[in-house]
Amino acid sequence: MASIFTKIISGEIPCYKVAETTDFLAFLDINPNAKGHTLCIPKKEENKIFDLDENEYVELMKFSRKVAKGIEKVIDCKRVGMTVIGLEVPHVHVHLIPLTTMEDARFINKQNLSPEDFKNIATQISEAI
Ligand code: AMP
């Protein structure tokens, strides 16, 4: 069965898109730790990040780096942190999280954002990349 992220890639499920290439997609996490929390995924469905081949892994990191630089330009934070978990969605994704305090890295305190907020943030990051 297709992962929820494969359904996002195909357009079956909507997302707040931040960036896209032939092989990768970045979109806002729907339950963000902090404003600007973004997920970077390969379009090829793979469960675990270290099962990507070396080239796919490096290209995902390069894509994530570009997106992180865009986030840093427009989101007020001390730095952008990077986390890989994957316990909820078995499709490789890199969490890029704007960090101000350690709490932002803990996946406990979630932000309530309106659809309008999500749209504006995605547009701002997208234009900064
Ligand atoms: P994990 O697999 O533990 O790294 O967590 C999966 C992440 O995907 C969580 O932070 C979710 O909020 C996020 N997520 C799940 N479904 C969606 C969706 N449809 N759009 C955006 N983010 C999602």
Q: What is the domain count for the chain?
A: 1
State whether the beta carbon of 108 lies less than 6 angstroms from ligand 1. no
Is the pTM for the entire model greater than 0.95?
A: yes
CA 72 to each of CA 28, 31, 99: distance values in angstroms, whole numbers, following the listed order: 14, 19, 10
Show Cβ contacts of residue 115 under 8 Å, excluding neighbours closer than 6 positions.
Answer: none
| pLDDT > 90? residue 59 | yes
What is the CATH number for 34? 3.30.428.10
Domain of 39 in residue numbering reads as 4-128
Average per-residue pLDDT for the chain: 97
Q: Tens digit of pLDDT for each residue in 2-26? A: 899 999 999 999 999 999 999 999 9
pLDDT in the model for residue 1: 79
Closest CA to 15 of 34, 45, 38, 46: 38
Q: Tens digit of pLDDT for each residue in 85-120? A: 999 999 999 999 999 999 999 999 999 999 999 999
Confidence of residue 28 (pLDDT cuts 50, 70, 90): very high
Cα 53 to ligand 1 centroid, rounded to whole Å: 23
- Name the residue of 9, 17, 28, 89 whose CB sits within 8 Å of the most ligand 1 atoms, as the mutation to test its pocket: 89
Which residues are catalytic, by number?
93
